[in-house]
Amino acid sequence: MYYQLYQNQADLMAPFRAAARGFGGVLRQFDNGGPETFGVRQAAATLELMAGGGLTHMRPPFGFTTVMVGNQEVKVEEVVADSTPFGNLLHFRKDTEVPQPKVLVVAPMSGHFATLLRGTVQVLLPDNDVYITDWANARDIPASAGRFGMDEFTDHVMRFQRVLGPDSHVLAVCQPAVPVLAAVALMAEDKDPATPASMTLMAGPIDTRIRPTQVNALALEHDVKWFEQNLIDTVPWRFQGGGRKVYPGITQIGAFISMNLDRHVKAHADQYRNVMGGDSVRADAHRKFYDEYLAVMDLPAEFYLETVKSVFQDHDLALGKATWRGRAVKPEMITDTRLLVVEAGKDDICSVGQTQAAAALCSGLPEEMKVYHLQADVGHYGVFNGRRWASEIYPLVRDIIQPGRAPA
């Protein structure tokens, strides 16, 4: 199978990339920026591109050590608050006695690690007691741990929300918007005391019939059997998850790159010029982005296939047909959870209107408890990362979590 072929190639290239990384670093020490070291810079730039061309399968660090709370700098410690074979509930515990609202950030299980939301967490941290779903790489999960599908994802959201307890909040980015909405509906119907006080859904595929994107169209080109036969593979036996059926991260990252191939080719050409020109700021920014972007994780096969069928093909939640372990999911049972929906005007993954559909589904929620925001000038990632997220979107999140809060 192609997973084993990929792994063989990666193992073969690993020592060459390591050597390129080390030798390139040595060469940079001899570069004085002058014309006499032009050849050194040229060689270092070439080695840089070679070293950075491979994928990794380990989660990069979040890297938070301190944060400002008010006018005080406090320490941040990563603590595992709960754990299952499929992921940890990671708590960014702060060394402060200032009471803050507890917020569960539900990261997408979409081929990248939860650190893709580093910028999201960074902005939330000063005002909130932040937790995040730190999903495990499926190739590191023993097959004996069992299956992980949409029901199990929803289980985890409810389980982790109960760890946070009453008067906490939930924020879902992209794909988890569907199981998060389902989890909150189930908890609301059961009058669970841990039902979130607020729910923020950001660029998530609640109803993909609305203005279908290229991603949505691709999901409809074949039946789910085709996806199983052509995109699902088996983890090689040398890994802890050996024998587990997965949607490999290499397949997902290949799809992402192919959607914007010209942009990635240009980025690497620019990086060559950055190193050649001694622009260390831009070169470091490129390295940081691609170290994260090329860190990939495998998805459990059943989760990927059920997502394709339920969310993108059958539109179960949007059509009122969604179930959790055979029980109907009823978003209309949500009556006390404030709702914020955020979309991006330039989103080529989840188009405008797809997430907004959640507001109509939550028909039992008073209109004054629903807030919709369209950030017209950003794409998909700009909803939860970057300047617009920090300056224009986050204030709305803060207000939905703490209505009536005095401005900072």
Give the contacts of 303 (CB within 8 A, at least 6 positions apart).
109, 148, 149, 150, 152, 153, 247
| Residue 267 confidence (pLDDT) | 59
3-state secondary structure of 135: strand
> Percent of the chain scored above 70 by pLDDT?
76
| Residue 281 confidence (pLDDT) | 74
pTM, rounded to two decimals: 0.86
Fold assignment, 66-218+299-401: Rossmann fold (3.40.50)
pLDDT tens, position by position, 28-71:
665 555 555 556 656 666 655 565 556 677 888 999 999 999 89
- Asked whether the beta carbons of 324 and 186 are under 8 A apart, the reply is yes
- Asked whether the beta carbons of 372 and 403 are under 8 A apart, the reply is no
- Phi first, then psi, for residue 147 (nearest 5°) are -85, 160
Going from the C-alpha of 368 to that of each of 237, 270, 400, the distances in angstroms are 54, 48, 11
Beta bridge partners of 247: 299
Give the contacts of 149 (CB within 8 A, at least 6 positions apart).
300, 302, 303, 306
Residue limits of CATH 3.40.50.1820 in the chain: 66-218+299-401
Q: Regarding predicted confidence, which is higher, 125 or 49?
A: 125
Q: How confident is the model at residue 317 (pLDDT cuts 50, 70, 90)?
A: very high
pLDDT tens, position by position, 177-229:
999 999 999 999 999 999 999 999 999 999 999 999 988 998 999 999 999 99
- Asked whether the beta carbons of 112 and 297 are under 8 A apart, the reply is yes
| Residue 14 confidence (pLDDT) | 55
**DSSP category for residue 326:** T
| Residue 369 confidence (pLDDT) | 97
313 CB neighbour count, 10 Å cutoff? 17
Give the burial class of 145: count Cβ atoms within 10 A of its Cβ; 0-12 exposed, 13-18 middle, 19 or more buried: middle
Q: How far apart are CA 353 and CA 359, in angstroms?
A: 10
Give the burial class of 84: count Cβ atoms within 10 A of its Cβ; 0-12 exposed, 13-18 middle, 19 or more buried: middle
**The CA-based dihedral angle spanning residues 170, 175, 178, 181, taken in that order and rounded to the nearest 10 degrees:** 10
Rg (CA), the chain: 22
Is the pLDDT assigned to residue 292 strictly greater than 60?
Answer: yes
3-state secondary structure of 142: coil
Element spanning 77, H or E: strand 72-84
Q: How confident is the model at residue 17 (pLDDT cuts 50, 70, 90)?
A: low
Q: What residue type is 321 in one-letter code?
A: K
What is the length of the chain?
Answer: 408
Task: Name which of 300, 142, 297, 175 is nearest 233 in CA terms.
Answer: 300
- Asked whether the beta carbons of 114 and 131 are under 8 A apart, the reply is no
